[in-house]
């Protein structure tokens, strides 16, 4: 396993050995705090404010515009409103699992950003199995969804948890198989190597991003990612009109905030994975790498919000059929075709 180079500037200013264990731990924690703060800030901006504005624009309505400039203070208003509510614990819940579920849902996505290269040295770790790690961490969210549904002692929550398991199983396999086709092109699971492999020119000024090299895989990954982050037409685990928010029915106050933030952090993690393996990571002209990285993940977020506004929800049986009979077959075909092309051309 290789680690990203540590920033030696702070250590030198403090006259410390940058390679000492204590300094490495402190700098790693500081870097993790900065990246976590950056992602949480984007999530806070996306959840209460951007989601409302984008959905209103797609559906020809007026969103929040009275609370602060452009309605931006709705972020503070929502935070105060939700966190000041009483935390109600229903009777009969499995308390340890019920308490841990929101923490698992919110924290697993943040762990995934540890191996995402964001440009300009903003990269906590660069293990040789980086892509496998981020898929593994993202998939553990299912544990939190199952715990929340089962521990709530509520039939709607339980159904939401079961739907979450069925959906994640049906779409994680196509997601991983499609990601594996990128690994075949790049020849590595290491995130920095995947980004570096996309730095060449494909045709003229067109970069060799894998979204252009293999657009079929890019489309498959985008669709499977919608299912992973629970956006239309695959928001079956929550289904407000059918199972009244599913696995999160019994949660309020700070626990609801954690689940809500976890949902949007996972959307941004999905965008970060897509930006890294299909859109060249932080690569881009003129602007700093971190700016391009944020532009790309916000572009993916915009796509998920368009789907939420424009695409109707499918039934659970249709969702499973699309996953197992459609996405799985197409992702396998894409993987085999990619292997044949690379085997013939290399």
Distances (CA, A) of 120 to 130, 186, 281, 288: 18, 22, 11, 7
At residue 263, the pLDDT reads 84
Domain ranges of the chain: 8-345
Cα dihedral sign, 235-309-257-34: positive
Could you tell me the maximum CA-CA distance found in the chain, to the nearest angstrom? 65
pLDDT at 33: 79
**What is the SS3 assignment for 75-107?**
HHHHHHHHHCCCCCCCCCCCHHHHHHHHHHHHH
CA 99 to the chain's CA centroid? 23
User: Distances in Å between the alpha carbon of 74 and those of 24, 45, 168?
Assistant: 39, 10, 32
**What does the pLDDT read at residue 328?**
92
Q: Where are the alpha helices (DSSP H) in the chain?
A: 8-13, 21-45, 51-58, 74-83, 95-112, 130-139, 141-151, 155-186, 191-196, 210-213, 215-228, 240-243, 253-278, 289-310, 316-321, 328-345
Q: Count CB atoms within 10 A of the CB of residue 332.
A: 14
What was the pLDDT predicted at 19? Answer: 61
Residues of the chain with pLDDT under 70: 1-20, 23, 239-243, 346
């Amino acid at each position: 396993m290789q680690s990203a180079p540590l920033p030696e500037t702070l250590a030198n200013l403090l006259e410390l050995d940058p390679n000492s264990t204590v300094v490495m731990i402190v700098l790693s924690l500081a870097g993790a705090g900065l990246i976590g703060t950056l992602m949480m800030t984007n999530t806070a901006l996306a959840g209460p404010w951007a989601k409302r504005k984008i959905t209103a624009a797609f559906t020809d309505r007026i969103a929040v515009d009275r609370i602060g400039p452009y309605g931006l203070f709705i972020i503070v208003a929502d935070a105060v409103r939700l966190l000041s509510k009483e935390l109600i614990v229903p009777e009969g819940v499995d308390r340890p699992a019920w308490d841990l579920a929101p923490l698992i849902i919110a924290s697993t996505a943040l762990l995934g950003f540890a191996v995402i290269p964001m440009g300009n040295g903003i990269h906590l770790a660069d293990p040789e199995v980086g892509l496998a790690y981020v898929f593994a961490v993202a998939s553990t969210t299912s544990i939190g969804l199952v715990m929340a549904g089962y521990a709530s002692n509520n039939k709607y929550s339980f159904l939401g948890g079961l739907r979450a398991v069925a959906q994640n199983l049906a779409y994680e396999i196509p997601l991983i198989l499609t990601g594996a086709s990128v690994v075949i092109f790049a020849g590595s699971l290491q995130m920095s190597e995947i980004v570096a492999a996309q730095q060449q020119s494909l045709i003229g000024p067109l970069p060799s991003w894998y979204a252009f090299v293999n657009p079929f895989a890019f489309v498959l990954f985008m669709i499977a990612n919608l299912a992973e982050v629970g956006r239309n037409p695959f928001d079956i685990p929550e289904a407000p009109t059918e199972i009244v928010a599913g696995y999160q029915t019994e949660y309020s106050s700070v626990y609801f905030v954690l689940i809500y933030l976890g949902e949007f952090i996972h959307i941004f993690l999905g965008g970060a994975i897509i930006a890294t393996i299909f859109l060249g990571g932080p690569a881009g002209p003129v602007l700093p790498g971190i700016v391009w990285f944020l532009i790309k993940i916000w572009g993916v977020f915009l796509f998920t919000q368009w789907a939420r506004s424009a695409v109707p929800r499918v039934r659970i049986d249709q969702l499973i059929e699309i996953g197992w009979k459609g996405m799985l077959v197409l992702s396998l075909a894409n993987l085999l075709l990619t292997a044949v092309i690379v085997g013939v051309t290399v």
